[in-house]
Structure 1
Amino acid sequence: MEHAAAAVRTPEDREAMSERLGHLDAERATVEGLLADPELVAAAAEPAADLPELEAGHERAERDHAARTSARDRAKGRLDQLTALAGELDAALRAYRPAEERHRLARRLAELATGTSGDNRWHMRLSAYVLGERLRQVVDAANERLDRMSSGRYLLRHDLNRSAGDRGRSGGGLGLRVLDAWTGVERDPATLSGGESFITSLALALGLADVVTAEAGGAEIGSLFVDEGFGTLDDETLDDVLDILDGLREGGRAVGVVSHVAELRVRIPAQLRVVKGRSGSTLSHR
């Protein structure tokens, strides 16, 4: 009786217990619904999982995750470095481009001045251009005498093309051509005979003296020395050359001639003779 009396519940207790039973029934129905899910049913029918293998796979996945995380961090560090270097490169390029433009302009001017530029039509150095203008003046002055010394046959022409024998990339501006009035053909000075070369060289030397005199404000070159070459001249040409030299001497210049040609002894009054002997050479004045 005592136990029965102890088991008696008050209406409130019975109501609470009834409410709890209702909740438990609801939970059971929910669980049963979940367990009835086809996927869970199919999974329950599968063999039991291999836990050691799953743990090993988990460890491999953890290691792979750690390796990939480390690679990501290294890549991010490199990205930061490359971003900084790109900024530095951009700044360097901004500073370089004006210098490059100045260098390009300076190089173009240098190539033009040295005659190696494709824009330099004559492949002529600046120095050759300046000297070429002076050579043109010399040629004009030389032709006045060469025309007479060659009996009207030869005249010189300043040629802008490369000089004979010039094999460099740059050249030109200092070339000469010979106009032959007898054949009507332009010739290379190298085709002239010994005598023709001599009178041409003499005419150029005298023309140079005239140009220098004009540039020096009339201050003349007072002395002129001609060494050899007379033996290559025929009689008529020799007379023409000596007439020109006499004209220079009469104009106030001292003209010295070094030669072994015997005919010159008659035409040249003042002479210094060098005579060879056993004891050496002797000098005499006439």
Structure 2
Amino acid sequence: MTFDARKANSASASGRQNALFALITLTVVCGAFFAVLSLPQNAAGHDTPLGDRVSSLTIDMPDLPGEAAEAYFIALGKVDPEAQMALSGEIMQAGKLDEAAVTGLVMAHAETVLRDHAGELAQADTKHVDDILDMTRNKLRTASRKRSKWCDAGRYADLADIEFQKPDVFEQTLAEVKAPLNDYSFDVMTGLMIAIEDARTHPVERGEMTRADEAALQGMVMSIMADPDVLPLIVSLQSGGDARKALKGVNVCNLGATAVTAAKTLPQETKGRLLAEAAREMKENGASAFRTGVAF
């Protein structure tokens, strides 16, 4: 077992909460950018073809919405076979559902799985965090190179305009946004299952957040704000300028890649304690911690 020594000068409880909130907010903001993605990618950490992985299943694969969901189902079985069987039963009992409904069912089940295995996730090696960050950045950069229409920040402002004026069009457009975001969510969940599985044989014990961690997070935020693509946007919005005009032409894929790159520069010890803090928060409060970031 590896030990990550706890610093003598630990952060205050409010400081730890602020650090965790910063991480969650960054994650949620970056996650919003994945609405631009429409290119299939392997789940984090998986190089084995899906067909080969399916052959190792001990139960029948349920009707899931795509390969990303199937990869998660397989990874779940390696971590918690009983939970995998329960999920399969829930899907079969629900009967004929559309993809959105199945996705909602699987994600609700996944929240329970994460809470049940939060202690193991807290001990996962930070290489798994880096794998997910790398996948995130690669997807964003690919979407930007492909000139995905959802890289244009102006489209999100347009969504706000039609929400009440044209609810049918709004729902249709929102579904178009959510579909690739769902695949990304399944990829992240697969990466977390891999991290939990690895933590069982290679656990890392960690202490609480430290003042050094808070300083590292502050430095990360400052580096994002000082980026030449981000700074003009912040200045424009802070000066009371027209938000729609400020967002026009802004490439949110590039902004997301910038944020992820900054997160990658955090010290590994800081990433580890952030992961452990997030896991503890998940165990206590479930997905409500992440909903706080969304509300922000």
TM-score of the superposition, structure 2-length normalised?
0.16
TM-score of the superposition, structure 1-length normalised?
0.17
Larger Cα Rg: Structure 1 or Structure 2?
Answer: 1
Larger relative CO (CA 8 A, sep 6+): 1 or 2?
2
Point out the structure with the larger strand share.
Answer: 1
